[in-house]
Structure 1
Amino acid sequence: MYRSKGKRILDILLAATGLLTSLPLFIVLPPVLWVYFKGNPFFVQVRPGLNARLFAILKFRTMHGNGRPAAGFGKFLRRSSLDELPQFWNVLVGEMSIVGPRPLLAEYLPLYNVNQLSRHAVKPGMTGLAQINGRNALSWEEKFEYDLHYVENLSLALDLRIICATMVNALSFRQTAATEALPFKGNEVC
């Protein structure tokens, strides 16, 4: 029941709440980013979603046009994950979920093995097991291990634990180190 209907209801409630509570940032950040980057404040990129169907993921821009990461303000947005806030819209329209495997670049699709392709059996998420267990410090194989564990064990309890851990990390501006968090598979209490 949760997988088929409850997860979508939770996504809509959390995405709508997220958009409303972050409304002040949506009023302030776009003009600031427009000036800072001398142009479009949003970053849009095609990523594979449910069943590997492509969609446009939204983020606040944190990189210069030449692909160089922006120091200072852009770095702060990435570190605090504030650049991810526009993805609440992706969740609201049904392209993403609050929790699920993070959508990787479309160019990686040909590199997946058959088992790894099953990460697309669910909608991609704004956060997931890999994000709370080391994020960018994880190897490709470790990320897929967490993604596949999530797909196989998707439940309300697991989603709530991941959301709770994500909020703790975000509020403390902590990027969880892989070595301290790898044992988490979603069975622990947040």
Structure 2
Amino acid sequence: MYSAGGKRLLDVAGAALLLLLLSPVLAGVALLVWWRLGRPVLFRQERAGRGGMPFTLWKFRSMRDGPGSDAERLTPLGRALRATALDELPQLVNVLRGEMSLVGPRPLPPAYTPRYTPRQAERLRVRPGLCGLAQSMGRNAVPWEERLEWDARYAARVTAWGDAVIILRCAAVLLRGRGVAAEGHATMPPFEGKGFRGDSREGP
């Protein structure tokens, strides 16, 4: 069964292959970040994984140190990395370690977990992913309540075909440059915990 074992095998094989193929890109981005922002090159932050278990997520650093809001500290290089999702590439290591999947709900801060409705908490039934159903609908332009509903729908029905469709849709959104950030924010505003009552339609 795909969700019971096949998905994990594909995650390991896919992450290992991508790390090998993209190693020159990873090295180039690391050098750029070191040159423009200094050390550390990687940004580490605790996120909630499957079952709400915390893990350390890795990203390339995109903000300068110092005072100011996220939007003020986000550099031109950081904007370019986020627009192309190159800042997320170190998470392939998280995939290899079993903390993430190639496809799944994006990992969010543990502080958000108590704010979920029972429906929204369904997203924690599966490993978080590099790309997800909500991201395929428009990345950070999708409002929180709608985004968490798509995550819950994904967790309720995980299939190989569905994952393949999500990857293709995420690639299309990325190529079109859609949804890099919510309006007026560096990425998304904080999740405040409002529930969402979606319709009965099923996602892929």
On whether the aligned pair clears a TM of 0.5, the verdict is yes
Cα drift, residue 17 of structure 1: 1.5
Q: Within 2, Cα distance between the matches of 1:91 and 1:173?
A: 26
What is the TM-score of this pair, normalised by structure 1? 0.88
Kindly tell me the number of residue pairs found equivalent between the two proteins.
180
Q: Which amino acid aligns with 2:59?
A: K
Q: Which residue of 2 aligns with 1:39?
A: 39
Aligned pair 1:79/2:97, yes or no?
no
Structure 2 counterpart of 1:164, from 162, 168, 173:
168
How big is each residue's C-alpha offset from its partner over 1:124-181, in whole Å with a ceiling of 9 and x where there is no partner?
00100110102211111101110011011111110010111122333x242159xxxx
Q: Report what 1:64 is aligned to.
A: 64
TM-score, length basis structure 2: 0.83
Taking the aligned partners of 1:184 and 1:112, their CA distance within structure 2 comes to 20
Measure how far apart 1:26 and its partner are: 1.9
Matched letter for residue 49 of structure 1: G
* Partners of 1:34 and 1:40 within 8 A in 2: yes
| 8 Å Cα contact 1:8-1:97 kept in structure 2 | yes
Q: Decide whether aligned partners of structure 1 residues 184 and 62 sit closer, same or farther in structure 2, where only a CA change above 3 A counts.
A: farther
Identity over aligned residues, as a percent? 38
Partner of 1:96: 100
- Structure 2 unpaired stretches of 5+: 181-200
114, 119, 137: which one aligns with 2:118: 114
Aligned 8 A contact 1:133 1:184 in 2:
no
Secondary structure at the counterpart of residue 127 of structure 2:
coil
Query: Where does the alignment leave 5 or more consecutive residues of structure 1 unmatched?
Result: 178-182
In terms of fraction of residues, the more helix-rich structure is 1
Quote the offset at 1:184 in angstroms.
8.7
Judged with a 3 Å threshold, the aligned counterparts in structure 2 of structure 1 residues 184 and 84 are, in CA distance, closer, same or farther, namely: farther
Distance 1:94 1:15 in 2: 11
